[in-house]
Amino acid sequence: MKPSTHQTLQGSNTLLVVCGLVCVYMLSFLAMRIVMQVVFVPQAVMQDIWIMHEMGSRLDFRIICMGMAALLLLIYVVQIVSFINIKRSKHNTTKGGGIGHTLIISYIALISFLVCFSAIGNFYYYKTYHTKIDVFIFGLKDDDTLAVLKIMWQDYPVILILLICVLYSFVCVKLSKKLINLTIPILRIRTLILLHIFTLLVVILGIRGSVGTQPLKETTIDTTQNQSLNHLIINPILALHYAYIHYNNAVHFEPVTLSEGITLQQETFPIFFTHKQGVTTPIDSLAFTQSPTPTTQSTQDSHIHSTTHISQTSPHVVAVLMESFALNILALDNAEHFDMLGSFRPYFESGMSKHKGQNDFVFTKFLSGANGTIASLTKLFFDSPTSLISLSTAKNTKLPLTPIDVYKQAGYDVIFITSGNKNWYNLGDYLMTLGADAIYDSSYIAQHYPQSKANAWAFGNADEYAFALATEILLKAKKPTFIMMLTISNHPPFATPKSFKTPEYALDSVMPLFTSKDPQRVRLATEAFTYASDAFGNFVSAIRHNPMLKDNVIIGASGDHLCRDMKQGANIALDHSVPFYLYIPTAIARDLNFNPDTLGSHKDIFPTLYALSLQEYDFLSLGGRNLFDTNAKDTYTFAYNEAVWIDKDGIYPLGLDTGFTYITKNGIITPQESFIIPESKKQFIQNYIKLSWWQINYRIYGENTQK
């Protein structure tokens, strides 16, 4: 006798359906990943393949649990409605249940179709674009939709794909019906309730993807060292979800007119330059032609295991963006009672003044480009006014005149190292698109330095291992090398390595300056700051005491933004000030005109590094200049942050009408009297911002030739 509907949708049968579908969907995504690995990455090493499947399965389980949560909710609602109908009328027990049964079966058919279609679609998307599903999928909507659909019809077996998906859905429905109608021993109510609670907990945990402090999300996914496998890890449905978020948040770029850019430059200053025979010459524009997009396959091992050395005509360059390395907390530094510098102290203090034979140079009248890590990073390394460029529709476009491009054109190897995750804001892929030769992140560091795992924390590895890797690469470099670095140890939740000898801090007198009233939180923040400074100081020491490197490496380092654990006060300049430190070999440093009182910001870092390291080059400078150039025009002598503009005449908080005169005390800009900001100054700053947006569009799309 066939059981009635309201009986078949309750109890153990519900759990059987959920478990059965989970197994089928997990196996389906596993098969997808195996096929794609065999077809697209057959040369992958077994270790990376295991990493891919382990993380991929966790992501699959997450998206499947989302689907099962909705299914369980639907089943419970149907059961409640059926129960109410039974209570209301003993003669009408099947109508509500019949409709509910249909809804459940329809839902199973729909998600089964989606699982199959996403798996097959993922295969063809990777085959076409050699990447996971990303924002380019929305070209179906933004481009000529009919034309795109016509191309898809011609290039892909659409009918066959749809038939396979329908058949897959049919099989899943048949399986579900068999499990629904399966006669199994009746369990006690208490046991059944416990099983359902356990199932719900597993589903919730699966959706979260982790039992640790960090849920499984796009920015915290561990990856393999094979970039192609990295694209196969993420579940296609999750990839589409992330792509949709990026698409909604992305800035859309467009072609611009050359005349607009020339006008803006006339109203501000030139931004395109060529440097030849020791002379820098501004030009109206540069003709941009897109180079072929580089392969996304990393060449890491060649930089690590090389042992051949050749003479170098150009110095290595290391540019470090340090997490929260800011003057608002450095202003409290005291070697005895509040040590913020650690082993970096002798080099930092040496650079604070001008003296003979110096190799260290420090600029403290200096602003970060922005007020967040990714925003400062994109301004510094990409000259981009938007922090979302690596997630935008331009993420696969090779952007000319970045520092990566300038150093590549000069014959350098270009490498990016972070103790964090290269998937953050899609940086790994984007940097490879821009021409980087290798990307190293926490995943590589953990494998290359197994001892680093003991000090791993929520966001990656301790900074000391990133600096050790940079030193190793420089020692084994076969040609001039440009290394970009992003540190993360000085980021909450703070976790200082146990091996670090923490100094004693006199916290009582400074507690009112911190946002937290908890001394333990403040202590952790100060420990992390000192550790990060100490790790960088050890790196500087390793370079300057190595006979192979001390005369052949330039190091530039600055902070990304203010220390957020400090209260922001009346000094808006201090709230956005970060130091800029340089180590320069003696042969280059001896002829420099250094003024520690020079005003600057992140825009000046690469014009300075170019001048110190390169001979002939084209470059972009958004108002930046060589900080050692005593002949620089007053127009370029300013500091810019997204929140404040500073020049010789005053401090101008952006968006406000009141500015301040200032003086410099101990290297810190200190506001004095207020004044009304002239309209001409406001207009100049607005033109500067417009120019920064014009140039990014121009570098991406070039000139709009349509009239």
398-449 residue pLDDT tens = 999 999 999 999 999 999 999 998 988 889 999 999 999 999 999 999 999 9
CB 491 within 8 A of CB 458: no
pLDDT bucket at 180, cuts 50 / 70 / 90 = confident
DSSP 8-state class, residue 295: P
CA angle 530, 589, 435 (to 5 degrees): 70
Per-residue pLDDT reduced to its tens digit, 637-675: 999 999 999 999 999 999 888 999 999 988 899 999 999
Q: What is the pLDDT of residue 307?
A: 39
Phi, then psi, of 236 in degrees rounded to 5: -60, -30
Measured CA distances, 571 to 332, 637, 668 (Å): 15, 21, 10
- Rounded CA-CA distance 115/26 in Å is 10
Asked if residues 331 and 574 have their Cβ atoms less than 8 Å apart, the reply is: yes
For the residues 80-95, what does the mean pLDDT come to? 66
- Residue environment code for 39-53, b if the CB has 16+ CB neighbours within 10 A, otherwise e: ebbeebeeebbebbb
User: 92 vs 194, which has greater pLDDT?
Assistant: 194
Mean pLDDT of the chain: 87
540-550 per-position pLDDT tens digit: 999 999 999 99
Token duo for residue 41 = 């990455």
Average pLDDT of the segment spanning 600-625: 96
Give 313's pLDDT tier (boundaries 50, 70, 90): low
* Residue-level pLDDT at 179: 87
At residue 629, the pLDDT reads: 93
First to last CA, the chain: 77
Q: What is the pLDDT of residue 310?
A: 35
51 vs 221: which has the higher pLDDT: 51
| Structure confidence at residue 7 (pLDDT) | 41
230 pLDDT band, cuts 50/70/90, is confident
The predicted structure's pLDDT at residue 706: 58
Can you tell me the distance from the alpha carbon of 471 to that of 465, in angstroms, rounded to the nearest whole number? 10
Domain parsing of the chain, residue ranges: 5-249, 317-650+689-701
Q: Pick the residue with more confidence: 85 or 319?
A: 319
Which whole-number Å values give the CA distances from 266 to 44, 273, 385, 620, in the listed order? Answer: 53, 14, 20, 16
Residues 182/384, Cβ–Cβ less than 8 Å: no
pLDDT at 569: 75
pLDDT at residue number 290: 43
Judge contact between 290 and 271, C-beta under 8 A: no
Note the pTM of the prediction, 2 decimals: 0.78
Q: Which two tokens stand for residue 164?
A: 């396979």
pLDDT band at 60 (very low <50, low <70, confident <90, very high): very high
Selection from 628, 655, 650 nearest residue 639 by Cα: 650
pLDDT in tens, 325-336: 999 999 999 999
Judge whether residue 8 has pLDDT over 80: no
Task: Sort residue 683 into left (φ over 0), alpha (ψ -120 to 50) or beta.
Answer: alpha
Strand (E) or helix (H) holding 435: none
Ranking 11-20, 85-94, 530-539, 642-651 by mean pLDDT, the lowest is 85-94
- Report pLDDT for 707: 47
pLDDT given for residue 297 in this prediction: 39
pLDDT at 521 over 60: yes
CB atoms within 10 A of CB 610: 23
Residue 585 pLDDT grade (very low, low, confident, very high; cuts 50, 70, 90): very high
Q: Are 249 and 241 in contact (CB under 8 A)?
A: no
Of 83-97, 102-116, 267-281, the one with minimum mean pLDDT is: 83-97
Q: Give dist(CA 490, CA 468) in Å, integer.
A: 17
Residue 293 confidence (pLDDT): 40
* Distance, CA of 364 to chain centre: 27
Task: Say how far apart CA 140 and CA 240 lie, in whole Å.
Answer: 13
pLDDT at 145: 65
Mean pLDDT computed over 508-529: 92
Would the pLDDT of 186 be above 80? no
**Which tokens in the block code for residue 170?**
């049919």
Beta bridge partners of 321: 486, 558
Spatial CB neighbours of 373, under 8 Å, sequence gap ≥ 6: 321, 323, 486, 560, 561
CATH of domain 317-650+689-701: 3.40.720.10
- Tell me the angle at which helices 189-208 and 12-40 cross, rounded to the nearest 10 degrees: 30
Assigned token pair, 392: 């935008």
